[in-house]
């Protein structure tokens, strides 16, 4: 925590934090967790040291010595140091280089002779490599979901997303590797894996069960890169939920990734459709919103067991309402939610939010909460959402502690003696709600609004989406209503 002076980054150090770096974490993941936590702690410590009129920090301990292997203060990691030498680098080195540049700018490389940036890398297991054809280091061997399997000198890596060099005049988009190189992948084998498998075998979705017979718990985990859910990913998640519905469990836990639970529809994937002959961004948006609505519908109609949404990471837009569709929503203190849609070109939103919001906060407060949450357009902490009734419980400070709490909590839910009564009450409530106002009617009303956003005369959504995926700054910042809801504290800026 530096004091500003005339020379850039040269002022006195008021506070600092050191932390271990997770070996399997990307640069972006470290910033979202360890760096953020350290920064908050350092800011609070610096504020505690401040005294009116003080010339500098007081009682500050000496900076820790640099690690023996570090050689002192480190500068930026250059492109040359990140360049992958496929003929020489082992799997661990390839992963470290890609993770050092994830999520921006990505490691500069080439696939199928085309320049691109690599993102979202995972180690391949020996089992997978035995299923793949032989190949030289650097060669692409197979596909799985969004990813390409690429050989290294001692194994292989799955590369989930790339930012390929676009044709002249088009923006570079981060897309699933199998989409960016769809034509090249057409002849490659698909090395799919079942939902229930060994924990080290990578895929975007996984299902496992814990607990004794009669009180079993299903854990459906999904980890989509940056929380974005394309039409294909939504369809896979719907299929996985139907699989979980067929299992003999009392509780289903829907668990998102460590960095993001979900951020809703995949804006990069939609933007790419605008460049495809016979397709359009509006049509891709329409497909995507229907697909994510289908996921939420699976959750809302799963009345034969209790459902828990476990938020280890942040959520935004439709991803929030996917979580809120569960019977119980559990998060940790560091989770930030953005349940609104309007910053993306005044989108109305779908995912059955007009049903879920009053169901969670109560009919009497629904209008007030909807105005505060959906019009306020500000980030909300997990604790704030819990105060409104959108989140049911906030456990622990970090994601790893949350999962430990959740494991104990869902076991208690599954073994509770009143479990049959809770299921019967849930089924009655769903039947009563359906008789009063069917879910299909909520969906139709929301999609009428979304159709105007996608196909109507106002291009705000398409402009906002294009600016978002191309990393263009906002031309102006809209007036926001703060989360307190008090008109006297409105802020605005341009």
Among 356, 292, 281, residue whose Cα is nearest residue 319: 292
Residue 25 belongs to a domain: yes
In a domain? residue 229: yes
End-to-end CA distance of the chain: 28
Residues 47 and 88 placed together within one structural domain of the fold? no
What is the CATH number for 142?
Answer: 3.10.25.10
Cα 301 to Cα 439: distance, rounded to the nearest angstrom:
9
Compute CA distances 328 → 299, 310, 409, whole Å.
Answer: 11, 9, 11
Distance, CA of 494 to CA of 487 (rounded, Å): 19
- In sequence order, which residues have a C-beta less than 8 Å from that of residue 61 and are 6 or more positions away? none
Choose one of 19, 37, 66: the last residue of a domain. 66
Domains in the chain: how many in total? 3
Same domain, 225 and 126: no
CA-only gyration radius of the chain, Å:
24
* Per-residue model confidence as pLDDT tens for the chain (494 residues): 888 888 887 777 888 888 888 888 999 999 999 999 899 999 998 888 777 765 556 555 555 665 555 555 667 778 888 899 999 999 999 999 999 988 788 999 999 999 999 999 999 999 999 999 889 999 999 999 999 999 999 999 999 999 998 888 888 899 999 999 999 999 999 999 999 999 999 999 999 999 999 999 999 999 999 999 999 999 999 999 999 999 999 999 999 999 999 999 999 999 999 989 999 999 999 999 999 999 999 999 999 999 999 999 999 999 999 999 999 999 999 999 999 998 899 899 999 999 999 999 999 999 999 999 998 888 999 999 999 999 999 988 888 889 999 999 999 999 999 999 999 999 999 999 999 999 999 999 999 999 999 999 999 999 999 999 988 876 666 565 554 433 333 333 32
- Tell whether 312 is covered by a domain: yes
Q: What pLDDT does 478 receive?
A: 58
Same domain, 137 and 221: no
219 lies in the same domain as 324: yes
Q: How far apart are CA 111 and CA 383, in angstroms?
A: 45
Distance CA 342, CA 349 (A): 8
Residues in the chain: 494
Query: Are the beta carbons of 269 and 284 closer than 8 angstroms?
Result: yes
Asked which of 29, 45, 66 is the last residue of a domain, the reply is 66
- Judge if 355 and 299 occupy the same domain: yes
Q: Does residue 196 fall inside a structural domain?
A: no
Question: Can you give the CATH number for the domain in which 453 is found?
Answer: 3.90.226.10
With respect to residue 296, please indicate whether it lies within any of the assigned structural domains.
yes
- Domain residues for 49? 1-66
Q: Is 221 helix (H, G, I), strand (E, B) or coil?
A: strand
Residue 71 lies in a domain: no
On the CB side of 336, CA atoms within 13 Å amount to 8
Rounded Cα distance, 119 and 147, in Å: 10
| Domain stop point among 10, 37, 66 | 66
Q: Is the dihedral of CA 190, 194, 195, 196 positive or negative?
A: negative
User: Residue 96 domain-assigned?
Assistant: yes
Residue 235 sits in the same domain as residue 340: yes
Q: Are residues 285 and 345 in the same domain?
A: yes
pLDDT at 483: 44
- Please say whether the beta carbons of 442 and 355 come within 8 A: yes
C-alpha span between 295 and 325 (Å, rounded): 10
Residue 108, SS3? strand
474 in the same domain as 423: yes
User: How many CA within 13 A on the CB side of residue 472?
Assistant: 12
- Do 166 and 283 fall into the same domain? no
Evaluated on CA atoms 417, 424, 356, 235, the torsion sign reads positive
User: Are 385 and 440 in the same domain?
Assistant: yes
Nearest to 411 by CA among 254, 199, 241, 212: 212
Q: What is the pLDDT of residues 390-401, one digit of tens each?
A: 999 998 888 888
**330 forms bridges with which residues in the sheet?**
310, 393
> Is 319 found in the same domain as 175?
no
What are the residues whose beta carbons fall under 8 Å from the beta carbon of 352, sequence distance 6 or more? 293, 296, 297, 300, 321, 325, 439, 442, 443, 446
Residue 191: inside a domain, yes or no? no
Q: pTM value? A: 0.91
What are the two backbone dihedrals, phi and then psi, of residue 314, each rounded to the nearest 5 degrees? Answer: -70, 165
Mark whether 363 and 413 lie in a shared domain: yes
């Amino acid at each position: 925590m530096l004091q500003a002076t005339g020379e850039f980054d040269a002022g006195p150090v008021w506070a600092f934090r050191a932390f271990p770096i997770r070996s399997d974490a990307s640069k972006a993941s470290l910033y979202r967790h360890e760096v953020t936590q350290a920064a908050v702690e350092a800011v609070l410590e610096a504020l505690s040291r401040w005294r009116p009129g003080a010339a500098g920090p007081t009682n500050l301990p000496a900076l820790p010595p640099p690690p023996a292997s570090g050689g002192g203060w480190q500068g930026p990691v250059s492109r040359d140091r990140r360049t992958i030498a496929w003929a020489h680098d082992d799997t661990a080195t390839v992963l470290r280089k890609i993770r050092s540049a994830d999520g921006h700018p990505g490691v500069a490389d080439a696939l199928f002779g085309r320049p691109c940036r690599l993102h979202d890398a995972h180690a391949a297991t020996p089992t997978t490599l035995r299923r793949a054809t032989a190949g030289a280091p650097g060669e692409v061997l197979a596909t799985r979901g969004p990813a390409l399997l690429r050989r290294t000198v001692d194994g292989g890596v799955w590369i989930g997303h790339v930012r390929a060099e676009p044709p002249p005049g088009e923006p570079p988009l981060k897309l699933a590797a199998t989409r960016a190189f769809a034509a090249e992948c057409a002849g490659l084998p698909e090395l799919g894996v079942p939902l229930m498998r060994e924990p080290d075998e990578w895929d975007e979705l996984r299902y496992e069960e814990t607990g004794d017979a009669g009180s079993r718990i299903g854990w459906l985990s999904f980890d989509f890169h940056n929380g974005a859910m394309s039409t294909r990913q939504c369809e896979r998640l719907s299929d996985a939920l139907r699989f979980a519905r067929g299992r003999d469990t009392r509780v289903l836990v829907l668990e998102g990734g460590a960095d993001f639970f979900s951020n809703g529809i995949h804006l990069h994937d939609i933007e790419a459709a605008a460049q495809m002959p016979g397709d359009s961004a509006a049509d891709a948006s329409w497909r995507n919103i229907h697909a994510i609505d289908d996921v939420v519908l699976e959750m809302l109609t799963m009345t034969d067991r209790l459902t828990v949404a476990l938020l280890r990471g942040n959520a935004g837009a439709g991803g929030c309402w996917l979580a809120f569709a569960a019977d119980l929503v559990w998060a940790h203190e560091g989770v930030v939610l953005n349940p609104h849609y309007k910053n993306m070109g005044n989108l109305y939103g779908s995912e059955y939010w007009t049903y879920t919001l009053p169901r969670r906060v109560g009919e009497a407060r629904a209008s007030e909460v909807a105005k505060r949450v959906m019009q306020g357009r500000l980030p909300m902490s997990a604790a704030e959402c819990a105060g409104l009734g959108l989140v049911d419980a906030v456990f622990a400070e970090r994601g790893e502690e949350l999962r430990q709490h959740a494991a104990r909590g869902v076991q208690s839910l599954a073994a509770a003696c009143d479990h049959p009564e809770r299921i019967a009450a849930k089924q009655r409530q769903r039947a009563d709600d359906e008789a009063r106002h069917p879910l299909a009617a909520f969906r139709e009303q929301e999609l009428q609004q979304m159709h105007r956003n996608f196909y109507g005369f106002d291009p705000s959504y398409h402009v906002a989406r294009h600016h978002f995926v191309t990393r263009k700054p906002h031309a102006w910042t809209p007036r926001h209503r703060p989360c307190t809801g008090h008109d006297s504290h409105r802020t605005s800026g341009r």
